[in-house]
Amino acid sequence: MKPEQVAYEIKQNDKVGRYVVAAKELEAGEEFLVDTAAVIGPKHHTPPVCLGCLSLTSGDTLCERCGWPVCGPSCADLPAHKEAECAVFAAANVKFSSSVEDPTADCPQYECITPLRLLLTIGSKIWNDKIEKMECHSKERKGGVDWNADQINIVNFLRGPCKLADRFSEEQIHQVCGILAVNTFEACSRVSGGNPVRALYPQFALLSHNCVPNTAHSIGADYKVRVRTTVPVKKGDELFITYTHTLQPTYARRQHLKLSKYFDCECARCADPEELGSNLSTIKCPKCEWGWVRAEKPLDDASDYKCHKCEYKMSNADTMKVMGVIQREIEALDPADLEVREQLIKKYHAFLHPKHAHLTALKHSLCQLYGRVAEYTFEEMPDLLMERKIELCKHMLQIADIVQPGYSRLRGMILYELHAPLIMLARSLYQQDVLTGFALLTRMQEAERVLAEAVHILSFEDPDSMEGQLAAQARFSLEQLQQTIIMLPQQIDIMDGEQHIGG
């Protein structure tokens, strides 16, 4: 029996519509849903891609039937293209004619592709049973920037040059555009050469949002999505995914959800000024020594900020202005500039809570940069910087335990980053006689536990994904480390003896 038939139930209420609860006790890491995409296509803003495999293309090779970009005849004959837009474009004699000189720039002509593929399912069983019921938020979208752009680039194009006015109404096309905007997920696959595409999963899309999700998902080379729990879930409890970035502060998450998903998040994390203890939105009080400034009413987008000690207030406008300046400064950084990130942390440490989202973003980047960029490789880093990387990783684990608890991808990646400096620092300190042999063994065993947990978490990922490939690498490193630990007691005895004799 399929896992989705026994592991979850679909329920409905007036607040969120349809949602998903556990139909039985689910253990952490338990797969409860596998879903196949109803439609896969280019992202809303995309450069030219092959309409067969969806990999990036220069646009020079065209389908012989419709005149739109493909990699070659084999891609032109793939059903995803041949049985969808190809026939429509060929019948209407609508050719691809991008005027964009930069092949990496967004191509507006492609905005119609995924909506057209979904429109062509109207009347099918999957449309009638699952897709037609999906939320499209046409009322909220109507008249907005996205709606008006869709009217020009999609509605008018399909009903005009593509000659589909008799087949699809404006209302139907906007409904489909809304369904895609609200419900699709980004996917990368070796089929598309790693190029991000969007996919619509009828069952997966039923999971509601929470800023502290209790599930994670991975999308494989076949574009099937596999969904698992990250923490134990009791029978009857709701299963959540996240529609936004969990490391963002409340005001940024709620704004993103309002603009892209058309709802106001009122989850426990958003409602808590301290964000469940993560303090990703907290500012240091400039007036008193120990005060923290937080939103008075975090579910009010216009809320002022107030110190919990001295009652000092900052207006919402002033707070957002300052946050915007810092955000733009971070976004302008060179991706590999390690030193400037450290400087920014020192610069804003006196103003922001140590766990504030802006400082956490900088620290998250540094976790990945230390050991990998020129002049800061593991071979070049002194003990002080090894300790710094360990400190940064432990900071991120504290954050992950709150906003992405359990077997989350974030936790798995940070644990992997942590194991190497633990090993290298322990070896260095032992060689300097700072650590005893027993202390060295203890630290190596700690690194083993860290790496073993990283392997366990990352092994849930698709083997072809970056995280899945990292899991294989981590598994090999773990085997090597375990062999080292087995041999270590004998080596320690010899080395300690030599050190003792030499002394």
- Which of 225-234, 298-307, 458-467 has the weakest average pLDDT? 458-467
Please tell me whether residues 20 and 129 are part of one structural domain.
no
Q: Could you tell me if residue 254 is inside a domain?
A: no
Helical pair 250-261 and 170-183, crossing angle rounded to 10 deg: 150
Please tell me whether residues 59 and 164 are part of one structural domain.
yes
CA distances from 280 to 99, 151, 348, 360 (A): 44, 38, 14, 8
Please tell me whether residues 467 and 382 are part of one structural domain.
yes
Taking residues 97-107, report their average pLDDT. 75
Specify the higher pLDDT residue, 420 or 491: 420
Q: Could you tell me if residue 27 is inside a domain?
A: yes
pLDDT tens across 110-127, in order? Answer: 999 999 999 999 999 999
Please tell me whether residues 78 and 21 are part of one structural domain.
no
Whole-number percent of the chain with pLDDT over 70: 96
The pTM is what? 0.91
pLDDT tens across 266-285, in order? Answer: 999 999 999 999 999 999 99
Please tell me whether residues 151 and 215 are part of one structural domain.
no
pLDDT tens across 184-232, in order? Answer: 999 887 776 788 999 999 999 999 999 999 999 999 888 999 999 999 9
Please tell me whether residues 484 and 381 are part of one structural domain.
yes
CB-CB contact of 32 with 229 (8 Å): yes
Q: Is 207 helix (H, G, I), strand (E, B) or coil?
A: coil
pLDDT at residue 496, as a whole number: 57
pLDDT at residue 14, as a whole number: 86
Please tell me whether residues 209 and 113 are part of one structural domain.
no
Q: Could you tell me if residue 392 is inside a domain?
A: yes
Q: Could you tell me if residue 236 is inside a domain?
A: yes
Alpha-carbon distance 149 to 155, whole Å? Answer: 9
pLDDT at residue 222, as a whole number: 87
State the Cα torsion 209-211-216-220 to the nearest 10°. Answer: 70
Please tell me whether residues 431 and 476 are part of one structural domain.
yes
Q: Could you tell me if residue 471 is inside a domain?
A: yes
Alpha-carbon distance 18 to 134, whole Å? Answer: 9
Element (H, E) at 436: none
Checking if the pLDDT of 146 tops 70, the result is: yes
Element (H, E) at 271: helix 268-271
Structure tokens at 14: 């007036």
- Would you list the DSSP string of 303-315? --EEETTT--EE-
Please tell me whether residues 28 and 57 are part of one structural domain.
no
Taking residues 172-180, report their average pLDDT. 97
Domain holding 73, by residue range, is: 43-188
Checking if the pLDDT of 503 tops 90, the result is: no
CA distances from 363 to 117, 368, 499 (A): 42, 9, 39
Q: Please tell me the total count of domains within the chain.
A: 3
- Would you list the DSSP string of 317-385? HHHHHHHHHHHHHHHTS-TT-HHHHHHHHHHHTTTB-TT-HHHHHHHHHHHHHTBTSTT-BTTT--HHH
